[in-house]
Amino acid sequence: MTFQSLKLADYILKAIQEEGYEKPTPVQSEAIPIVLSGRDLLACAQTGTGKTAAFAIPMIQLMQESNQMGKQKRIRGLVVTPTRELAIQIHESFGAYGRHTGIKQAVIFGGVKQESQVRALKAGIDLLIATPGRLLDLIQQGYISLKDIEFFVLDEADRMLDMGFIHDVKKIIKVLPQRKQSLFFSATMPDEITKLANVLLYKPGKVEVTPVSSTAETINQKLYYVEKGEKNTQLLNILDNKDIRSILVFTRTKHGADKVVKFLIKSNVKAMAIHGNKSQNARQNALNGFKDGSLRVLVATDIAARGIDVEELEWVLNYELPNIPETYVHRIGRTGRAGNKGSAISFCAEDERPYLKSIEKLIRLSIPKLNQPSFSNTKPEPTAQRNDKPAQTANRQGSSNYGYKKKNNKSSYNKRSAY
């Protein structure tokens, strides 16, 4: 499959080539023709599969070809996504794929002053990328009207549910025009999300690139049983491994993230936390440092980590196991992206064993365990265990080795770290 065979316009093909993409990812090959044909779409795909381009590329083409360009600007496309980081990335992606079109867009999200966002809206836009709270806020203040929406994308619907945004999303859907093309993206499909999709979508084309609960086959997963009080020491042991140039560490709480960072800094390891209590600037600084390699350890809570798109991130550590099993899939999906290799290490204390049980049930495999006290001699090795088979792989479905590469990863990497 090539991008040419997807009947894309020259201005899109040129932009894709400039991005360094050689061929479409599975979600792109399947979703783009559905969207171009004007149908609604239900896509089960997690971050890292190339899902942003799967909706952005055909949307840009449809908007560009509807001969509305040059006329008075009205918001015709709306993308709603749960976090500001994702909103910024989607905005950048539209900017990249649409750089040879005249489509004007704006991005709005909470946590910052609204003035510059309002100015962008007043200047006139075709496309709006928004987080739910700020969108409703600016609608209420009369700065945004959704009456002309022709294309609506709901991104990461399951995260909206996890983050408590589902009511806001329902409110937004209520003010959208009846006639529109809707594209619905979710990594997992819990009942409430299936119900929402049924309300929103009309005879949608369906695309499923990763089975709901599978974890990427490119990711080497390991688990250590540890005493609660030993996690910090074990973390330092892991960081002794100089092959680990950067590692994303997950905690369940903001307080937990701060505690880990405090410990690491005291131990002379450069680390920063990213979570909801941090200002937008502090989050962006931490992210930029992590992306440009000057920050080795980034400690994140689940919500803050949504949308962290660090190409070639190889290591993820679950300092604490998540209490929602789907979150494990999301967390380890930060690594091993775009066909790169990745390793996910998890710590499991006695009181976390029930979480482990739920995770293994969901992913349908037993995560290989490395035993104490041989731990420090068996530091995870990035390549040697690549082909390790999990202890049980019963009923394991599918593969998510997307098998695609960029010709030139660096250009996009640098561009992404620019904001």
Binding site for ligand AMP (CB under 6 A): 21, 24-25, 28, 47-53, 309, 311, 337-338, 404, 406, 412
* Number of Cα atoms under 13 Å in the Cβ half of residue 189: 17
Q: What is the nearest approach in angstroms of ligand AMP to the Cβ of residue 282?
A: 23
**Which of 305, 314, 244, 234 has the alpha carbon at shortest distance from 272?**
305
Specify burial of residue 220 (Cβ count, 10 A radius: 0-12, 13-18, 19+). buried
Dist CA 51 CA 28 (whole Å): 7
For ligand AMP, which is the closer residue by CB, 66 or 399?
A: 399
For ligand AMP, which is the closer residue by CB, 49 or 215?
A: 49
Q: What is the nearest approach in angstroms of ligand AMP to the Cβ of residue 32?
A: 11
How many whole angstroms from its chain centre is CA 223?
23
For ligand AMP, which is the closer residue by CB, 215 or 234?
A: 215
For ligand AMP, which is the closer residue by CB, 126 or 309?
A: 309
For ligand AMP, which is the closer residue by CB, 53 or 332?
A: 53
Dist CA 322 CA 356 (whole Å): 9
Contact between 347 and 224 (Cβ < 8 Å)? yes
Dist CA 146 CA 219 (whole Å): 41
- The one-character DSSP state at 321 is -
Q: What is the nearest approach in angstroms of ligand AMP to the Cβ of residue 100?
A: 17
Q: How far is CA 272 from CA 225, 249, 268, 301, 419, in A?
A: 25, 10, 12, 12, 18
Q: What is the nearest approach in angstroms of ligand AMP to the Cβ of residue 407?
A: 8
Q: What is the nearest approach in angstroms of ligand AMP to the Cβ of residue 364?
A: 23
User: Which pair of tokens denotes residue 352?
Assistant: 């976390």
Contact between 79 and 53 (Cβ < 8 Å)? no
Q: What is the nearest approach in angstroms of ligand AMP to the Cβ of residue 404?
A: 5
For ligand AMP, which is the closer residue by CB, 50 or 256?
A: 50
Q: Which residue has the tokens 């068996």?
A: 378
Q: What is the nearest approach in angstroms of ligand AMP to the Cβ of residue 257?
A: 23
Q: What is the nearest approach in angstroms of ligand AMP to the Cβ of residue 303?
A: 17
For ligand AMP, which is the closer residue by CB, 94 or 151?
A: 94
For ligand AMP, which is the closer residue by CB, 330 or 337?
A: 337
In Å, the largest CA–CA distance within the chain is 69
For ligand AMP, which is the closer residue by CB, 48 or 380?
A: 48
Q: What is the nearest approach in angstroms of ligand AMP to the Cβ of residue 192?
A: 23
For 18-80, what is the HEC assignment? Answer: HHCECCCCHHHHHHHHHHHCCCCEEEECCCCCCHHHHHHHHHHHHHHHCCCCCCCCCCCEEEE
* Residue spans of beta strands (DSSP E) within 311-392: 315-318, 342-348, 369-370
